């Protein structure tokens, strides 16, 4: 039975779109490309997804852009919001400790 976690998250994001400059939703099936849950591997993963979504330049360009975004001052608000959807549905990715350690914040 679906509990609506994805819809609740998307609703929260839609209500706050003006506060979220960049939003990336990553379905769990794409998380298999994630080589680990360190800050470096997550940033590399995001750079690769940005390259795929834009089909512009290369992943290294997006890695540099992402690094620049993450230098944004905290009082300016979030630079990027990433939602890893279905984390509990995709077993091969080692999510334990991600949200509390490696992912928040990426700076």
Residue 60 has pLDDT above 90, yes or no: yes
Integer-rounded Cα radius of gyration of the chain: 14
- Class of residue 50 by CB neighbours under 10 A (exposed 0-12, middle 13-18, buried 19+): buried
Least confident span in 18-27, 28-37, 88-97: 88-97
pLDDT at position 82 is: 87
pLDDT at position 61 is: 96
CA atoms lying within 13 Å on the CB side of residue 63: 11
């Amino acid at each position: 039975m679906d509990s609506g976690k994805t819809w609740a998250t998307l609703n929260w994001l839609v209500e706050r779109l003006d506060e979220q400059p960049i939003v990336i939703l990553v379905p769990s099936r794409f998380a298999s490309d994630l080589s680990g849950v360190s800050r470096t591997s997550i940033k590399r993963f995001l750079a690769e997804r940005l390259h795929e979504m834009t089909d512009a330049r290369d992943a290294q360009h997006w890695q540099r852009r992402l690094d620049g975004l993450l230098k944004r001052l905290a009082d300016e608000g979030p630079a990027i919001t990433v939602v890893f959807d279905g984390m509990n549905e995709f077993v091969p990715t080692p999510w334990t400790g991600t949200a509390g350690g490696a992912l928040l914040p990426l700076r």
